[in-house]
Amino acid sequence: MAGFREIDKALFPITNIPAVVQIFKNQLEDSAEPDLALLSIIVGAIENSLTCRSNISFQISEPVEATSLPILELHVIEEMYSKFQAIIKGAVDIKNYSKPFATRELVKKVSDVIWNSLTRSYYKDRAHLQSLYSYLNGSKLDCFGVAFAVVAGCQVLGFSDVHLALSEDHAWVVFGECSNQTAEVTWHGKGNEDKRGQEIGRGVTARSWLYVNNKPVICTRHMEVAALVSAINPSLNATHDAFEVGLLQQELLWLLYDLGHLKMYPMALGNLGDLEEIAPKEGRIQCNTLFKEAIQSARTFYNNQHVYPYTYQGGYFYRHKMYKEAFESWANASDVIRLYNYSRDDEEIYKEFLEIANELIPHIMKVESSGFSANSILKKPECFANLLRFYDGICQWEEGSATPVLHIGWAKPLVNTISKFDSEVRAQVNIICADSEEEKHAKETNGNYFNNNNYEKENGTSTKKEEKEQSTSNFHPSIEALTAACSEKL
Ligand SMILES: CC1(C)CN=C(N2CCN(c3ncnc4sc(CC(F)F)cc34)CC2)S1
Which amino acid type is present at position 5? R
Q: Are 139 and 117 in contact (CB under 8 A)?
A: yes
pLDDT tens digits, one per residue of 220-236: 999 999 999 999 999 99
pLDDT at 67: 63
Q: Are 380 and 321 in contact (CB under 8 A)?
A: no
| Strands 181-183 vs 171-175: parallel, antiparallel or unpaired | antiparallel
Q: How far apart are CA 444 and CA 363, in angstroms?
A: 36
Task: Tally the residues of the chain.
Answer: 490
Which amino acid type is present at position 235? S
For residue 315, pLDDT beyond 50: yes
For ligand 1, what atom is nearest to the CA of residue 170? 20
Q: How is 169-237 classified by DSSP, letter by letter?
A: S-EEEEESTTS-EEE--S--SSSPPP-TTSPPPSSGGGGSGGGGGG--EE--HHHHHHHHHHT---BSS
Residue nearest to atom 12 of ligand 1 (CA): 267
ipTM higher than threshold 0.85: yes
pLDDT at 465: 46
pLDDT tens digits, one per residue of 49-88: 999 865 455 445 454 555 678 899 999 999 999 999 999 9
Which residues have C-beta atoms less than 6 Å from ligand 1? Answer: 143-144, 166, 169-171, 227, 230, 267-268, 271, 308, 311-312, 315
User: In which band, very low, low, confident or very high, does the pLDDT at 442 lie, cut at 50, 70 and 90?
Assistant: low
| Strands 68-72 vs 181-183: parallel, antiparallel or unpaired | unpaired
pLDDT at 476: 78
Residue among 146, 150, 151, 166 whose CB has most ligand 1 atoms within 8 A, to mutate: 166
Which amino acid type is present at position 182? T
Q: How far apart are CA 180 and CA 329, in angstroms?
A: 33
Looking at residue 159, the DSSP 8-state letter turns out to be -
pLDDT at 443: 58
